[in-house]
Amino acid sequence: MGEFEHSIDNKGRLIIPAKFRNQVGSTCVVTRGMDHSLSVYTMEEWDKVKQRLAQLPSTKGNARKFVRFIFSAATECEFDKQGRINIPQNLLTHAEIDKKCAIIGVSSHFEIWDADNWSTYQADAAEDFDDIAEEIGDLNF
């Protein structure tokens, strides 16, 4: 849970908030996410993701594309003593990250966004929030 803003340095290092670091451990997996974001998983959660992806039908072209898209970019990242991870350039390019990042909690993982892209995404989602809630069903709030 939560939303934080940090800046990435010129070496591709990003400070991960202690709240998330404490839940992740010393190593995490970073890969491409949806909507030009990056998804960050604990090693345990990554194992679950791998299992779910392995269940996709390899006879379906889009399933193969999706699996390749996720696995080809996945990288293990270790936290340094300052609580930073080093994000590879191909992932920074995918997420359109230049400097400022939004780090957001999303259920079983967290995501890293370019801060401007996250602001735009939030504004768009806020406009359609009631319609989205209705479309996805009874949330029981």
At 25 the pLDDT is: 86
Q: CA–CA separation, 7 vs 93, rounded Å?
A: 15
Going by C-alpha positions, the residue among 83, 109, 113 that lies closest to residue 99 is 113
Name beta bridge partners: 85. 14
Question: Does residue 38 or residue 107 have the better pLDDT?
Answer: 38
Query: Would the pLDDT of 136 be above 80?
Result: no
Give residue 127's pLDDT.
Answer: 85
Residue 39: predicted pLDDT: 97
Q: Enter the pTM of the model.
A: 0.90
pLDDT mean over 34-39: 96
pLDDT at 40: 97
Whole-number pLDDT of residue 138 = 62
Would you say residue 58 has pLDDT above 70?
A: yes
Cα 99 to Cα 90: distance, rounded to the nearest angstrom: 15
**High-pLDDT (> 70) share of the chain, %:** 97
> What CATH class has 3-136?
alpha beta
d(CA 43, CA 49): 10
What are the domain boundaries of the chain? 3-136
Enter the tokens of residue 58: 């390899």
pLDDT in tens, 74-108: 999 999 999 999 999 999 999 999 999 999 999 89
